[in-house]
Amino acid sequence: MKALLIILLIVLVIIALVTGAFLLARSPWADSLFERRADADGIVQRVQSLSRLETTRYTIETVVTADEQGFIDTPLGRLQIGSDRLLMIIHGRVTAGIDLEKLRSQDVEISGDGKRLTIKLPPVEIFSVDLDNEKTRVYSRETWLKRPNPNLESEARQGGEAKILATACEDGVMLRATEDAQRAVDNFVALLGLTTTAIEVIPAPAPPCPVAAQ
């Protein structure tokens, strides 16, 4: 008899759980929740279609120097003799933006009444640092009592890339890219024709510039 009561109790619990799940699935509240989640996922997919959104470009021209000294060993010690030095005009561009493929479904929220949409953006990044080879050139080169270093120009170019990135960082490229990304996504979402009456795009705080971490 006791075993029969236990079995009957288990059956009643299962029926209650199944009935509750069915009623929840048929309730307007559940329908609203599922619709909001589906709408949010759809918005994520449409925003992700922008992929790597380049929002900010800095074009910079600067001058870098590269030099190499020559040395000889003498009974009096190591003495400097000879040098290879060049002056290069660097023309390049720093591109920053936001990778919207990193946007997640939990970053998009729709209010219970469906009137407010909130999108939290991922942080901006430096996408590229490029030199314009047509405008980047050696301005002068002086070699004295030393064989020219064939790698000196490449070293100057590398130093030029680091310098234009540092210049962009000093000018606040990360903050500007963050602000530009917020405006760009805000404008894009406004063009989707959503029924929400309020749209808020929240950018991630501007991260430190890569140069600062070096």
User: What percentage of the chain reaches a pLDDT higher than 90?
Assistant: 46
Handedness of CA 39, 45, 46, 47 (dihedral sign): positive
pLDDT tens per residue, range 31-55: 443 344 546 777 778 878 878 899 9
Q: Which two tokens stand for residue 12?
A: 């009643």
Reply yes or no on whether the pLDDT at 185 is more than 60: yes
Mean model confidence pLDDT for the chain: 79
110 neighbors 83 (Cβ within 8 angstroms) = no
CA nearest to 189, candidates 173, 200, 179, 180:
200
pLDDT in the model for residue 34: 38
pLDDT in the model for residue 9: 44
Are β-strands 77-99 and 52-74 bridged in parallel, bridged antiparallel, or unpaired? antiparallel
108 neighbors 189 (Cβ within 8 angstroms) = no
The alpha-helical segments, DSSP class H, found in the chain are: 2-26, 28-48, 152-170, 173-190
With residue 113 as reference, give the H or E element that holds it. Answer: none
Tell me which DSSP letter residue 195 carries. S
pLDDT in the model for residue 178: 95
Q: Which two tokens stand for residue 83?
A: 């040098």
Give residue limits of the domains in the chain. Answer: 49-213
pLDDT band at 197 (very low <50, low <70, confident <90, very high): low
DSSP state letters, 141-189: EEEESSPPPTTHHHHHHHHHHHHHHHHHHHTTHHHHHHHHHHHHHHHHH
Strand order of the sheet with strand 198-202? 108-110, 116-120, 198-202
| 110 compared with 11, residue with greater pLDDT | 110
**Residue 139 half-sphere exposure, CB side, CA atoms within 13 Å?**
11
CA nearest to 122, candidates 193, 181, 69:
181
